[in-house]
């Protein structure tokens, strides 16, 4: 099993190396002459307006983001958010700038730089899922959601690090090393989409894509002061995403603002013939999620009733710090929605037993995925294990998955049935008390110190039920670490969750940039 300390970055500006190691003290680099437009902490609408006015080009945005990556991801605090940077990013940006000059603008994402988790297939960059076993693996195609974003005019800055094979929540991999939390580089950034979370929080791109099997969008959103959405199962296509568990995987956005999240969601959801689950989304997607920020919304926020789930706040002294932050955020919601009350969900804990499918499905799902690509460097988990091409942090998880002897078993089928029971149990409790959404901490514990396990995830509620959940920034601990509040709704109630999150954002302005990655310009 390998734990490499060097990752390669190929960029149009040159070749740099990022070394994994102990965190270093962040220091602001010597400030260059400030440009006409500083992208630091700017939203998609602000970048769009600046490009429309001629204040900045997409190419100049890409150059600024690369400069920030060099200063803070590869040097300075060494956040280590990327596995690879896109060598064609400037070329793509230049082409989009030419389109704009010619009067062709594809939409609000035209020329906007984003990042993509490295388990999404990309036609122009390798797709490694964080594993050295897949180093250099070229799919020669884009995942469905990536293609939709490219068609909308985004520039992909690069592929972000993840917990290897998306199989954990602290974001460490044999391909990418350990990603650090920009709010405190001695702590982890959540996972498995921690590279995307850290990159967006540190302003290495304006927003990004993650995937969520059990908390992998929501946990890094909570740990990085971001908004992150796991949609209803079937809202977006899994086609082209390296699988962990096909019955629970879903892709989605992480962003610093709700408008940015909604704009990425608008561009990536919808029916895909290559993923049968997306048929369920038909008729449930509004013309625009981003428009829900305006007055006269289709969702009446005063009709929203939220149930606090005390059982998900934890009962140990170690849970109290996060719980207090989350309850203060819920107090804000109390003044925005129609009502907030506590709820018990009878039978929930019993129903969730034996419902996890990651271990049961990873071996077979990965084998099926790799079989699509004759040039794949490995064919199975067994190949990865036999060659020692994995990080020690995931050794136990992949050994357990590889030991599964059958795609189908009585226990596996029973677990799927119990998942439907969980869904019905949650919805019945909500209906009985007239509730629209549930509220609880995304994680009951703050980001763990690197090298220690991360406890306290409430990921199962959404992942097991297939119901949508949004993590929103709840606030900070006394030592400056971000905390997330999770809101869960009924099937395809994303418009409700987004409307509530928009209102909360307007009331609290929860965004606070990390201290280790300030503007490059004084």
Task: Reply yes or no on whether 193 is catalytic.
Answer: no
Considering just the CA atoms, what is the radius of gyration of the chain in Å? 21
Task: Reply yes or no on whether 147 is catalytic.
Answer: no
Output b/e per residue, 162-171; b: 16+ Cβ within 10 A: bbbbbbbbbb
Distant-in-sequence, close-in-space partners of 260: CB < 8 Å, separation ≥ 6: 43, 44, 206, 207, 253
CB 136 within 8 A of CB 377: yes
Task: Reply yes or no on whether 216 is catalytic.
Answer: yes
Distant-in-sequence, close-in-space partners of 101: CB < 8 Å, separation ≥ 6: none
CA distance 487 to 469: 5
CA distance 208 to 260: 9
Query: Which listed residue (42, 48, 70, 117) is catalytic?
Result: 117
CA distance 56 to 58: 7
CA distance 400 to 73: 33
CA distance 470 to 233: 14
Query: Which listed residue (131, 193, 216, 471) is catalytic?
Result: 216
Taking Cα atoms as reference points, which of 333, 350, 359, 354 lies closest to residue 440?
333
Query: Which listed residue (43, 167, 173, 192) is catalytic?
Result: 192
CA distance 46 to 89: 20
Would you please indicate which residues are annotated as catalytic (active-site) residues? 117, 192, 216
């Amino acid at each position: 099993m390998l734990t490499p300390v060097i990752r390669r970055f190929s960029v149009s500006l040159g070749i740099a190396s990022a070394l994994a190691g102990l965190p270093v003290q962040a220091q602001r680099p010597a400030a260059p002459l400030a440009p006409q437009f500083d992208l630091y902490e700017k939203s998609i609408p602000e970048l769009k307006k600046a490009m429309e006015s001629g204040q900045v080009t997409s190419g100049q945005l890409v150059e600024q983001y690369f400069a920030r990556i060099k200063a803070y991801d590869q040097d300075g605090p060494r956040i280590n958010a990327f596995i690879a940077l896109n060598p064609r990013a400037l070329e793509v940006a230049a082409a989009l700038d030419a389109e704009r000059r010619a009067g062709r603008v594809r939409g609000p994402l035209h020329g906007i730089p984003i990042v993509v988790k490295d388990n999404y297939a990309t036609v122009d960059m390798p797709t490694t899922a964080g594993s050295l076993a897949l180093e250099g693996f070229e799919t020669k195609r884009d995942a469905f959601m990536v293609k939709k974003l490219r068609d909308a005019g985004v520039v992909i800055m690069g592929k972000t690090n993840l917990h290897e094979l998306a199989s954990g929540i602290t974001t460490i991999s044999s391909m990418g090393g350990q990603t650090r939390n920009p709010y405190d580089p001695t702590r982890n950034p959540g996972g498995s989409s921690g590279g995307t979370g850290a990159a967006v929080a540190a302003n290495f791109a304006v927003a990004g894509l993650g995937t969520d099997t059990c908390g992998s969008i929501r946990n890094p959103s909570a740990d990085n002061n971001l908004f992150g959405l796991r949609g209803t199962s079937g809202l977006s296509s899994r086609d082209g995403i390296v699988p962990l568990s096909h019955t629970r995987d879903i892709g989605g956005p992480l962003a610093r603002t709700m408008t940015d999240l909604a704009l990425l969601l608008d561009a990536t959801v919808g029916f895909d013939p290559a993923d049968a689950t997306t048929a369920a989304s038909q008729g449930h997607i509004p013309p625009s999620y981003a428009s829900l920020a305006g007055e006269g919304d289709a969702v009446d926020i005063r009709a929203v009733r939220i149930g606090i789930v005390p059982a998900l706040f934890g009962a140990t002294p170690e849970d109290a710090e996060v719980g207090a932050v989350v309850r203060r955020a819920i107090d804000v919601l109390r003044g925005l929605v129609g009502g907030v009350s506590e709820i018990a969900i009878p039978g929930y804990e019993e129903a969730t037993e034996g419902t996890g499918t990651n271990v049961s499905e990873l071996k077979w799902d990965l084998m099926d995925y790799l079989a699509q690509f004759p040039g794949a460097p490995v064919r199975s988990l067994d190949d990865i294990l036999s060659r020692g091409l994995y990080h020690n942090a995931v050794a136990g998880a992949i050994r357990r998955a590889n030991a599964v002897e059958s795609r189908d078993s009585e226990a596996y089928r029973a677990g799927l049935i119990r998942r439907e029971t969980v869904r019905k149990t949650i919805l019945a409790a909500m209906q009985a008390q007239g509730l629209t959404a549930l509220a609880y901490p995304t994680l009951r514990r703050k980001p763990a110190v690197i090298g220690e396990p991360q406890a306290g995830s409430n990921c199962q509620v959404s992942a097991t039920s297939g119901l949508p959940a949004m993590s929103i920034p709840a606030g900070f601990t006394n030592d400056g670490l971000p905390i997330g509040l999770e809101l869960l709704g009924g099937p395809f109630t994303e418009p409700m969750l987004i409307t509530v999150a928009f209102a909360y954002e307007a009331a609290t302005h929860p965004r606070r940039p990390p201290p280790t990655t300030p503007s490059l310009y004084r």
